[in-house]
Amino acid sequence: MLPQEIVRAKRDRQPLDPEDIGAFVAGVMDKSVAKEQIAALAMAIYLNGMSREEAVALTLALRDSGTVLDWSDLGPAVVDKHSTGGVGDNVSLVLAPIIAACGGYVPMISGRGLGHTGGTLDKFESIPGYDVKPDDETFRRVVKEVGCAIIGQTGSLAPADKIVYGIRDVTATVESVPLITASILSKKLAAGLRGLVLDVKVGSGAFMADEAAARELATSLVEVANGAGMPTVALLTDMDHPLASAAGNAVEVRSAVNLLRGDGSEPRLREITLALAAEMLAIVGLADDAEQGLRKAEDALSSGAGAERFGQMVAALGGPSDFIERMDEYLPSASIIRDLTLDNDAKLTGNLSFNTRELGLAVIELGGGRTRSEDDIDHAVGLSDLAPRDWDGASPLCRIHARDEATFERAAKRIRAAVRQGDGKTPPAVSERIAL
């Protein structure tokens, strides 16, 4: 079928054959499909949606537009997680080494910060020497020997998705559940996974702030992933408050490593990480069920085995061999580190709520995120010691790590404006499990 006829069919709410979807994506790669036609089909999908069968076909076509990794020599325990993004979300740094310590393999291909949310790669670039873009041989060796490697996406994985996303980004068609689903899963399928667990965030710091919208996306991801042959479950998790007590890059690395070493509290980060780990171990047969998976993950964390794997991964990818032991000597530190309190006339009586998205934007204002794709990041800046929900009403709201007085003051103003009186309720860290 001609590209314009495929666009016409979707415009007129007619079902698309998998062969036609595959041909359209092939045309994206060989440039026989024009950018205008990609934009038109994206808008037609945005307006009219896709059936599950169509979404599976699109996901597989995007996957097959480039390299599909093969980990068959490692057996069935190749697994990963994907998060829809949040503030203070450093789960990956703790989760991947825990799974590796339990006998799994985690070839985690991560991204940079997007909008107000932080990026896993930006966090790892806080570590001197850590290579987020190793060659394929190094990537495979580290996954096989250590059990986990967290790196950036290569251009060979689902390259058609990058082209399509670039057009969606400038044509107001990003917020389409089937297109988001195909974009996320095509890259995970191309990574050669045998199982996937999704962390779908809900709340003021999430892209999907509304619970119903988050559930719709999670359900689509689970159904399409399983339809494409990759066992997948999803957890809806709370992002109405920063996940860790830190938001930034080096400060989040410090928070994660402290949890791995047993030095920090981080109760919500610990709970969500272990819940995801339990599902990951169960889905690839390293545990009989999530309950047993939870016990194994807890043991890997409490014994220090997860911390040991994290240190091995850092060293294998070019970082310091003693990073776990001497973390504070290696991580960059900001010029200004100062507590932030409420204004004297503010009226809050304990129990705190943040507009969490604003905290993410404060990190960007400090220089810890990007306003343009070409912007450099200051890895040292950010927020630490963020007040918990059960705040005592007197302690600082947070500690700001800034490079100068001007950015400190701008971030302080935004953070103070983001503070709300809490309602006394603490939502569950994990509110729902979605599976077939």
Residue 92 token pair = 């990956």
Catalytic (active-site) positions: 80-83, 120, 168, 183, 187-188
DSSP string covering 267-310, please? HHHHHHHHHHHHHHHHHTTSSSSHHHHHHHHHHHHHTTHHHHHH
56 is a domain residue: no
CATH of the domain at 401: 3.90.1170.30
Q: How far apart are CA 282 and CA 290, in angstroms?
A: 5
433 is a domain residue: no
Tell me, yes or no, whether 349 and 205 share the same domain: no
Find the domain containing 368 and state its range.
Answer: 333-421
Query: What is the helix, strand, coil percentage profile of the chain, to 5?
Result: 45, 15, 40
- Contact indicator for 147, 309 with CB cutoff of 8 Å: yes
15 is a domain residue: yes
Tell me, yes or no, whether 36 and 86 share the same domain: no
With vertex at residue 351, the alpha carbon angle to CA 347 and CA 357, rounded to the nearest 5 degrees, is 90
Residue type, 278: A
Domain ends where: 327, 354, 389? 327
Tell me, yes or no, whether 256 and 121 share the same domain: yes
CB atoms within 10 A of CB 106: 26
Tell me, yes or no, whether 40 and 77 share the same domain: no
133 is a domain residue: yes
Number of domains in the chain: 3
Tell me, yes or no, whether 26 and 149 share the same domain: no
DSSP state of 224: H
Q: Is 110 helix (H, G, I), strand (E, B) or coil?
A: strand
Place 205 in a pLDDT band, splitting at 50, 70 and 90. confident
43 is a domain residue: yes
Domain ends where: 327, 362, 389? 327
66 is a domain residue: no
- Contact indicator for 177, 216 with CB cutoff of 8 Å: yes
106 is a domain residue: yes
CATH of the domain at 152: 3.40.1030.10
Residue 68 token pair = 């599909």
* Strand ranges of the sheet holding 247-248, from the earlier edge strand across to the other edge: 247-248, 382-384, 398-402, 336-340
- Through-space distance between the first and last CA atoms of the chain, rounded to whole angstroms: 34
Mind spelling out the 3-state secondary structure of 390-412?
Answer: CCCCCCCCEEEEECCHHHHHHHH
Tell me, yes or no, whether 122 and 247 share the same domain: yes
- Contact indicator for 146, 107 with CB cutoff of 8 Å: no
Tell me, yes or no, whether 388 and 269 share the same domain: no
Which stretches of 162-231 are assigned E, i.e. beta strand?
A: 195-202
pLDDT at position 199 is 96
Tell me, yes or no, whether 11 and 142 share the same domain: no
Q: How far apart are CA 4 and CA 7, in angstroms?
A: 5
Q: What is the mean pLDDT of residues 184-202?
A: 95
Tell me, yes or no, whether 258 and 184 share the same domain: yes
149 is a domain residue: yes
pLDDT at position 44 is 98
pLDDT at position 346 is 62
Q: 0.85 exceeded by the pTM?
A: yes
What would the pLDDT profile of 80-136 be if each residue is shown by its tens digit? 999 988 899 999 999 999 999 999 999 998 877 666 777 889 999 999 999 999 999
What would the pLDDT profile of 297-333 be if each residue is shown by its tens digit? 999 999 999 999 999 999 999 999 999 999 999 999 9
Tell me, yes or no, whether 278 and 397 share the same domain: no
Residue 206 token pair = 């999430």
